[in-house]
């Protein structure tokens, strides 16, 4: 998001347009689906701890709700933009459709940096965000969730404010809540585990044994941490991770040829996924430039940070050894990079398939909250595995039958489902 020349919404629209041509969508349907149905932009005034008032900028975009209520996270990020939120809401529409859950796409955000805000200030942002949207979101219309730099605590503050405004209990209004307060067991692991469920299936298809692979991971937040944990459990080894350093305002990669130790790294990691460089160096890690994760001599790359990370400018730095890219982040690969990856025959698991475990488990949480009956963790993760595996097989079968790039195959399935829902409703 810090690249001012990069417009993620234009990229999302370009990806859509390519598949719209493949599907031969009519002009009306195409125009309807390539833009959000509704979007909200608003100011959030907050009295800061020092007594001053600061106004933050907030967003909520509802891309499409033909298949069900909108669903999507809320980001707190200093470089948040309306175009980022538009793109993410569109990707959420396709994500819900490709795993075939009855939800549409939405996304929200606030331009702020939680690193520099007290808990009280963050709480006020959460409550004021809900006040601005209380009539436009809810369990039957638009269900938010946590995303970059937001947590279960933020969701609980938002739920409390929504319930106070409406004078009733609505646990299905928001997902990602703390367990015991309407949250689902397994939700914390869901996105990262979902990435590895699809990676496991890709390796089966490619006839590669997980225990014979090594990987490099960008990011060390929730998604990356749980992806690394499950990948190691199925036999793989991670030799490099990267993260953002708040003090230096830049990213670094942490390399260890004999494999990173996840539990040890977690002991020197802050709540935003930032690893202490000095302590990592003492543990034997080589500290490299932030982009070095992409250049490692590995079998698998897992971008699990932000969008616009693998581009036309750096895709040629990917090692010839790389066989699979599993996109844990949203929109990490640009169309220019896709061309390079496709030409090289690298198997890609596109973002809105690979990281759909989060929204799938959010859907499970919503179902549990609405019926006030909660499943055990093994049941949640078992259902998640079934959903992710089924979605992967459907996309890979489509890719093989129609000789499509995996990203295009996933889009064909998702867009066709949403377009059909719009036609069935008589919207287009």
Instruction: Please tell me the distance from the alpha carbon of residue 397 to that of residue 200, in angstroms, as a whole number.
Output: 16
Cβ–Cβ under 8 Å, residues 352 and 98 = yes
Backbone phi, psi, residue 78, to 5°: -65, -20
Chain centroid to CA 89: 11
Concerning whether 377 is annotated as a catalytic residue, the answer is no
Instruction: Please tell me the distance from the alpha carbon of residue 63 to that of residue 16, in angstroms, as a whole number.
Output: 13
Q: How many CA atoms lie within 13 A of 204 on its CB side?
A: 11
Instruction: Please tell me the distance from the alpha carbon of residue 49 to that of residue 320, in angstroms, as a whole number.
Output: 52
Q: How many CA atoms lie within 13 A of 339 on its CB side?
A: 7
Choosing from 107, 237, 255, 323, the catalytic residue is 107
Structure tokens, 58 = 């907030």
List the catalytic residues: 107
């Amino acid at each position: 998001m810090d690249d001012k020349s990069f417009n993620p919404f234009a990229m999302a629209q370009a990806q859509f347009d390519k598949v719209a041509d493949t599907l031969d969508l009519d002009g009306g349907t195409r125009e309807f689906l390539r833009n959000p149905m509704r979007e909200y932009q608003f100011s959030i005034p907050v009295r800061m701890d020092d007594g001053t008032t600061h106004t933050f900028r907030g967003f909520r975009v509802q891309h499409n709700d033909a298949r069900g209520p909108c669903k999507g996270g809320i980001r707190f990020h200093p470089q948040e933009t309306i175009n980022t939120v538009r793109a993410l809401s569109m990707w959420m529409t396709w994500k819900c459709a490709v795993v075939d859950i009855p939800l549409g796409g939405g996304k929200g955000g606030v331009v702020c940096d939680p690193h520099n805000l007290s808990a009280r200030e963050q709480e006020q942002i959460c409550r004021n965000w809900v006040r601005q949207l209380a009539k436009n979101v809810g369990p039957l219309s638009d269900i938010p969730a946590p995303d970059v730099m937001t947590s279960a605590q933020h969701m609980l503050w938002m739920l409390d404010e929504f319930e106070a405004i409406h004078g009733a209990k609505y646990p299905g209004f928001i997902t990602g809540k703390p367990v015991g307060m309407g949250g689902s067991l397994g939700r914390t692991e869901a996105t990262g585990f979902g990435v590895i469920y699809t990676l496991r299936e890709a390796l089966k298809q490619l006839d590669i044994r997980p225990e014979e692979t090594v990987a490099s991971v960008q990011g060390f937040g929730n998604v990356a941490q749980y992806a690394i944990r499950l990948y190691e459990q199925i036999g793989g080894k991670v030799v490099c991770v990267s993260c953002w350093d708040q003090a230096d305002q830049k990213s670094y990669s942490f390399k260890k040829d004999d494999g990173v130790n996840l539990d040890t790294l977690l002991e020197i990691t802050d709540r935003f996924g930032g690893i202490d460089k000095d302590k990592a160096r003492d543990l034997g890690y080589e500290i490299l430039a932030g982009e070095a994760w992409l250049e490692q001599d590995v079998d698998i790359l897992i971008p699990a940070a932000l969008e616009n990370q693998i581009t036309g400018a750096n895709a040629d730095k990917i090692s010839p050894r790389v066989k699979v890219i599993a996109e844990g982040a949203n929109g990490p690969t640009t169309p220019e990079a896709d061309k390079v990856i496709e030409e090289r025959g690298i198997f890609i698991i596109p973002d809105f398939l690979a990281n759909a475990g989060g929204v799938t488990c959010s859907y499970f949480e919503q179902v549990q909250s609405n019926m006030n009956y909660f499943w055990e963790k093994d049941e949640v993760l078992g259902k998640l595995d079934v959903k992710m595996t089924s979605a992967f097989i459907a996309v890979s079968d489509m890719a093989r039958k129609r000789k499509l790039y995996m990203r295009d195959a996933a889009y064909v399935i998702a867009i066709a489902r949403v377009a059909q829902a719009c036609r069935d409703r008589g919207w287009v």
